[in-house]
Amino acid sequence: MRPESPLFVAIARLLFLLINIFVLYVFLRGHNLPGGGFIAGAGTAISFVMLVLALGTRETEELLPIRPLTFSAFGLLLSIVVGVLPLFLGEGFLKHYHFKFFASEGLGEIYLGTPVWFDLGIYAIVVGVLLKLILLLARAKEGRSLVSPYEKQGCALPDAEDLEGRKAEEEASNA
């Protein structure tokens, strides 16, 4: 169900890019100021709401390079590893480490610490879960199946039509 306005689609694509540039700023400033992984993830999810409205659910799903829940699982794994790794080094849970990432005379030294990786994991969790909810609601509004085609492959549950057919067969055999 795509809107008829090509202007809305073009503006939505541009705003998607601009919102996510701002999200990158919010993400990076999150260690010392308000922001970070959670609010950046919420911002990205909001930009996907706009993209779903502009392109439709199917086209937005086709644009995704990775499934939302797989992205969330990656984020959870990353956050757990960053939190637990210091325990194996004899330090406390979530101990911060900072590594020199870049150094130049003009810009100075740039450090990339473990808090950034933890926030990246939180970002991935939030984006994945919220995007999954957005896509589920959009599919329901369009009257489509809530289970996407790639989810049906790994799902042990039968389709709703399958269940109705089995119920009718059981009722016929019981009668």
Domain edges within the chain: 6-146
For the residues 140-147, what does the mean pLDDT come to?
80
Q: Tokens 């509004």 map to which residue?
A: 141
Share of residues in the chain with pLDDT > 90 (%):
53
**Whole-number mean pLDDT of the chain?**
85
Give the long-range contacts of residues 32-36, CB within 8 A, separation 24 or more: 36/119, 36/122
Q: What tokens does 69 get?
A: 């829940």
Q: What tokens does 94 get?
A: 């979530």
For the residues 73-98, what does the mean pLDDT come to?
91
- In the structure, what pLDDT confidence band is assigned to residue 152 with cuts at 50, 70 and 90? low
pLDDT at position 7, please?
A: 92
- In the structure, what pLDDT confidence band is assigned to residue 165 with cuts at 50, 70 and 90? low
Residue pair 131/68 in contact by the 8 Å Cβ criterion: yes
Share of residues in the chain with pLDDT > 70 (%):
85
- In the structure, what pLDDT confidence band is assigned to residue 4 with cuts at 50, 70 and 90? confident
Lowest mean pLDDT among 4-13, 47-56, 104-113: 104-113
pLDDT at position 164, please?
A: 56
Instruction: For residue 99, give the nearest of 111, 83, 91, 110 by alpha carbon.
Output: 111
- In the structure, what pLDDT confidence band is assigned to residue 149 with cuts at 50, 70 and 90? low
Q: What angle do CA 62, 38, 98 make, to 5 degrees?
A: 110
Q: What tokens does 114 get?
A: 């473990």
- Residue 163 pLDDT greater than 60, yes or no: no
pLDDT at position 126, please?
A: 97
